[in-house]
Amino acid sequence: MMNASSGNIGSGTEASQPDAWPSSAAPLNMNHYANKKNAAESMLDVALLMANASQLKAVLAQGHNVSFYTPIITLISISLCLQVTFGLLLIFIVRWNLNDEQKHWRLNIMENLATGLVFIIVVVNVFITAFGVHQPNRRS
């Protein structure tokens, strides 16, 4: 009978590093990672910005025939302003070096502010969806 200590079972590198990726020469570049994450956030922000602009165009084209005209215009305008603010905040976050420990507290505050803005934008857009932008019923 063979056990783990007397044979090859469990004595390879697979057992010591079961989740290891093939080794690479360069360590993880946190700036590169953060920039990719912020680029993805920016793309999502642009998509939502375009959707809100389209909704604003539809509401303005229909005029006061839209139910909840003023609340929808107000909510879309708030959402657009918050999205622009979020985009500008991401630009500042990307420009700073994550490896500079003196800037960590500023980056932390800015990341928390960006997260808060995203939450508020989502809530505003839930209300925009709830009020809806629909074509008025046309009777012939």
Distances from the Cα of 127 to the Cα of 62, 95, 120, 122, angstroms: 19, 33, 11, 9
Query: In the structure, what pLDDT confidence band is assigned to residue 2 with cuts at 50, 70 and 90?
Result: very low
Of residues 128 and 27, which shows the higher confidence score?
128
**33-47 residue pLDDT tens:** 666 777 777 777 788
pLDDT at 74: 94
Cα 117 to Cα 140: distance, rounded to the nearest angstrom:
45
What's the gap between Cα 121 and its chain centre? 11
Spatial distance between the Cα atoms of 64 and 66, rounded to a whole number of angstroms:
5
Task: Supply the pTM of this predicted model.
Answer: 0.66
Cβ burial, residue 74 (10 Å; 0-12/13-18/19+): middle
